[in-house]
Structure 1
């Protein structure tokens, strides 16, 4: 299957979601990830929903080759924001083998991500086997505090 393209409405919806997160309307769930643009060198922000396993935080790139993923691969220093709270982090991309068990847990830990990935054509539902099969295709990053 070819890599899906994000829907036309995703960027405008992301801007609304980031604004709501920044001003504190949304307190739990999504955060704003800011990474340095690999071409422009300018800060680039996107909403993400991190999840925690064994005390470590992770995020899954919902679209293979998404801009924020490629930016994080080029420069892993990033900032996570939620409301007025900002945290500097280093994003560590996991190997496919390291990502498999985390992807299996993703449908339970991030149920909102299931519908997103289903609409993208990456999975048919909240089946751990389907999510595990995305290892090596959808990037998984661990956040290390800087």
Structure 2
């Protein structure tokens, strides 16, 4: 299945994401966070697993699949809830301009190695080459996470 950006979304991704959300809700700790944001059309809360990471003392999250619905929802929302374990935070996700995102994206494969296989299977990148990730600037959205 390809989204409107032409990126192949692995068939297993949506069911796995749903399972991760359900597992987290029953209290099982996960190595990722849950991001909840109002749907841009329905206004209903939409939750997706994300992997926040730190670069140069700043916390980020990458919209690793171009055109992903959760990214569009974040872009339309003022705030979101980020839940890691039992800790919940109200955050604002600030989109980083492509011109400023390259150095952060270059470090993504080292900082978030668990995210690389999904991006490869989705056809976003072909390897864990840092230059290939830096070239995603302007194609994949990088958000800075600010506490509200």
Which residue does the alignment assign to 1:65?
67
Residues 93 and 140 of structure 1 are in contact (CA less than 8 Å); yes or no, is this contact kept in structure 2? yes
User: 1: CA distance between counterparts of 2:44 and 2:25?
Assistant: 19
Correspondence for 1:119 among 118, 121, 135: 121
Which residue does the alignment assign to 1:109?
111
The 5-angstrom pairing of residues 47-62 of structure 1 reads 47-62=49-64
Residue 76 of structure 1 and its aligned partner are, at CA, apart by 3.6
SS in 2 for 1:79: strand
Which residue does the alignment assign to 1:84?
86
Q: Which runs of 5+ in 2 are unaligned?
A: none
Which residue does the alignment assign to 1:43?
45
Residue 62 of structure 1 and its aligned partner are, at CA, apart by 1.4
Residues 110, 92 of structure 1: alpha-carbon distance in 2 compared, 3 angstrom cutoff = same
Alignment length (residue pairs): 144
Which residue does the alignment assign to 1:136?
138
Residue 24 of structure 1 and its aligned partner are, at CA, apart by 3.6
SS in 2 for 1:6: coil
Residues 36 and 44 of structure 1 are in contact (CA less than 8 Å); yes or no, is this contact kept in structure 2? yes
Q: Compute the TM-score of the two structures, normalised by the length of structure 1.
A: 0.93
Correspondence for 2:21 among 18, 21, 27: 18
Give every structure 1 segment of 4 or more consecutive aligned residues whose post-TM-superposition deviation is greater than 2 Å.
Answer: 19-27
Residues 36 and 80 of structure 2 are in contact (CA less than 8 Å); yes or no, is this contact kept in structure 1? yes
Q: Compute the TM-score of the two structures, normalised by the length of structure 2.
A: 0.91
Residues 92 and 147 of structure 2 are in contact (CA less than 8 Å); yes or no, is this contact kept in structure 1? yes
User: 2: CA distance between counterparts of 1:4 and 1:34?
Assistant: 23
Q: Which runs of 5+ in 1 are unaligned?
A: none
Q: CA RMSD in A?
A: 1.3
